[in-house]
Structure 1
């Protein structure tokens, strides 16, 4: 009789088949996990910069370069041209006001001075002669007037006497008329003499005034010529240090040539160049700071030069409080200029990530520190050290701030230490 053989459920072949199917499924699942999920990249933590987001004081500042200049400078220009005959001091000398610096020679100018002095002397001599002539003429006219007065009195006496005598019929009418005519003549003569004296006096006065004005004009010209000759000796207009002085014995200097400058010992100011992009945000009263010899000093904008040259404009700044010891004219300082008031803000340190993300997202480190993932953020203002965070991050968060140039489209960074 035939015996029924029971068929085994789990044969070796069946188990092997199921194992193969399972392996294929796992492989497909793993492939899906690694390809269809978020892209990952292993990153060495030693080669990236991880920074902490914090809340603190924030101020919009820009770095600028400033040049140290004296508070007051007076340029030395040659008022007259000439040949350098003598140098009294050298560049860098501390000068007193009025102290000679150099002497020029100009024979033509000195000859003109001599001719002008001669002309003034001649005018003065002519004026004295005219005054003497006027005085003599006045004396002569006064003598003439005295004679006229005397003749008039005598004619008047005879006329009055004959008037009485003719009334008494002692003399004839002919004699009386002669006396009357003589009297009338002397009256007219006195009036004419008085008119002549007034005219002579007015004429002499006008002539003397004209001559005196001419003399004064020539005297002014002489004083001006003396000043021009005096300007051949160049003197310090104020007390201070002589700088940029470059003149040699025998050198011919033209009028208006810049000889140097005097820097007054009244302190320093800072002149800075700023990009024209900020011209609407810069005004007098803004503050700035810089570090010198490991100590911080403050500045304030005193003057803004609105003229733009080569895409830049200039400002003058003065020290607020203490002035650093040891700074020198022409020295360059690295300055931070504040464009806003200080406020509290959430801050993320600046880094190379911004060039890739434009500030729209950043890699935020997970709480366990093993990965960093993309998060959307919104940044606002910035200064040389920080960006102001408006959305997406909070104080205490840690983010990757170094460059993302080699990360491509990765969404997760796996942080590992090699």
Structure 2
């Protein structure tokens, strides 16, 4: 009797085929994952720096170097050229106003002074001679005036007597008319003499005034020449310390040549070099801080020199409150110059990663701290220690901040 044979649903051959297909798919998937998926690199955690993202007070500032200088520096230039004959002090000496520093000699200038003195003496002599001549001329004119006055009085007396006698018919008309003509002549003569005397007086005064003015001008020129000769002795214009003295005995110095400088020790300022990249963001009133002998001090920008040399420009900063004790001219200070006000921000510590990423991405750790992967970030302003994070990270996140130079283009880092 025939019996029904049940058909097997899963034959051995079919199972083998299915297993082979599954293995092939797994092989293909694994190959794709390891060739096309995220690339990985094993990293020793002891060889990297891991930093935590925080939120706190942020202020953009840049590190700059400044040199301590006196508040006021007066340059000593040779007012007149000459040969250095004598040095009274050495470089670094403390000077008082008017104290001699060195002496120059200039024979041409000294000869000019002698000639000027001779000219002034000649003008003074000529002026005295002219004054004597004017006085003698005035005396002569006054004598003439006295004679004219006497002649007029006599003519007037005779005229008045003859006038009465003529009216009394005691003398003739001819005699009376003669005395009258003589009197009128003497009146006109006196008027002419007075006019001449007045004109001579005005002329003499003008001549003497002109000579006096000429003499005064020559006196001023002589004083100026004496001052120029006196300037051959270089003196301290104010109290201060003599620095950068460049003069040796026997050395010739040209007019206007720099001899040295005098530092007024009433206070100090700091001359700071800044990269020209920040020139549009620097203005008077910006503040900076520095540490000196374990204490922090504040500076404020008072003057900006906008001329750019070698990619840098300079500013002068003054101490805002206290001046450090023991600070000296020429010392270099490391200053943190603030470019913004303080504010709350997400902060990323600085590190070597920036050289490879330019601040566009970082390796961020997972919660377990076993793996780090690339995340895009956006950074804002910076301080000497931190970057301001605008996007991509939150407080509490941990990132690798050391150099990425050995990580290549791997998307993920396995920390073990």
Normalised by the size of structure 2, how large is the TM-score? 0.91
Per the TM alignment, residue 185 of structure 1 is displaced from its structure 2 partner at its CA by 0.6
Distance 1:170 1:414, change over 3 A: same
Structure 1 match to 2:66: 66
Structure 2 match to 1:338: 338
Q: Please give the per-residue CA displacement for 1:104-150, whole angstroms capped at 9, x wherever unaligned.
A: 22222222222222221222222222222222322222222122112
Q: Where does 1:339-358 land on structure 2 (aligned, <5 Å)?
A: 339-358=339-358
Of 318-327 and 181-190, more deviation after overlay is shown by 318-327
Structure 1 match to 2:148: 148
CA RMSD of aligned residues (A): 2.6
Structure 2 match to 1:118: 118
Q: Does 1:252 align with 2:229?
A: no
Structure 2 match to 1:276: 276
Residues of 2 paired with 1:242 and 1:296: CA distance? 31
Per the TM alignment, residue 16 of structure 1 is displaced from its structure 2 partner at its CA by 9.1
Structure 2 match to 1:5: none
Residues of 2 paired with 1:258 and 1:412: CA distance? 66
Look up the SS of the partner of 1:163 in the other structure. helix
Distance 1:21 1:185, change over 3 A: closer
Distance 1:286 1:172, change over 3 A: same
Q: Does 1:132 align with 2:132?
A: yes
Of 378-387 and 255-264, more deviation after overlay is shown by 378-387
Q: Please give the per-residue CA displacement for 1:355-405, whole angstroms capped at 9, x wherever unaligned.
A: 333333222111111111222322222222211111221111111112223
Residues of 1 paired with 2:130 and 2:408: CA distance? 107
Structure 2 match to 1:383: 383
Normalised by the size of structure 1, how large is the TM-score? 0.91
Look up the SS of the partner of 2:396 in the other structure. coil
Structure 2 match to 1:98: 98
Structure 1 match to 2:214: 214
Residues of 1 paired with 2:201 and 2:375: CA distance? 108
Structure 2 match to 1:42: 42
Per the TM alignment, residue 328 of structure 1 is displaced from its structure 2 partner at its CA by 2.6
Residues of 2 paired with 1:38 and 1:173: CA distance? 156
Q: Where does 1:10-409 land on structure 2 (aligned, <5 Å)?
A: 30-31=30-31, 33-35=33-35, 37-409=37-409
Distance 1:34 1:158, change over 3 A: same
Distance 1:169 1:38, change over 3 A: same
Look up the SS of the partner of 1:265 in the other structure. strand
Of 10-19 and 404-413, more deviation after overlay is shown by 10-19
Per the TM alignment, residue 354 of structure 1 is displaced from its structure 2 partner at its CA by 2.6
Per the TM alignment, residue 171 of structure 1 is displaced from its structure 2 partner at its CA by 1.0
Residues of 2 paired with 1:25 and 1:188: CA distance? 152
Residues of 1 paired with 2:9 and 2:193: CA distance? 173
Residues of 1 paired with 2:120 and 2:67: CA distance? 53
Distance 1:105 1:190, change over 3 A: same
Distance 1:14 1:309, change over 3 A: closer
Unpaired stretches in structure 1, ≥5 consecutive residues: 1-7
Of 304-313 and 71-80, more deviation after overlay is shown by 304-313
Of 257-266 and 142-151, more deviation after overlay is shown by 142-151
Residues of 2 paired with 1:14 and 1:131: CA distance? 150
Distance 1:111 1:358, change over 3 A: closer
Residues of 1 paired with 2:32 and 2:407: CA distance? 22
Of 34-43 and 20-29, more deviation after overlay is shown by 20-29
Residues of 2 paired with 1:401 and 1:279: CA distance? 30
Per the TM alignment, residue 22 of structure 1 is displaced from its structure 2 partner at its CA by 7.1
Residues of 2 paired with 1:107 and 1:358: CA distance? 69
Look up the SS of the partner of 2:404 in the other structure. coil
Aligned length: 411
Residues of 2 paired with 1:195 and 1:222: CA distance? 40
Residues of 2 paired with 1:122 and 1:360: CA distance? 89
Look up the SS of the partner of 2:374 in the other structure. strand
Structure 1 match to 2:5: none
Per the TM alignment, residue 285 of structure 1 is displaced from its structure 2 partner at its CA by 0.5
Per the TM alignment, residue 201 of structure 1 is displaced from its structure 2 partner at its CA by 0.1
Of 111-120 and 19-28, more deviation after overlay is shown by 19-28
Distance 1:48 1:132, change over 3 A: same
Distance 1:67 1:25, change over 3 A: same
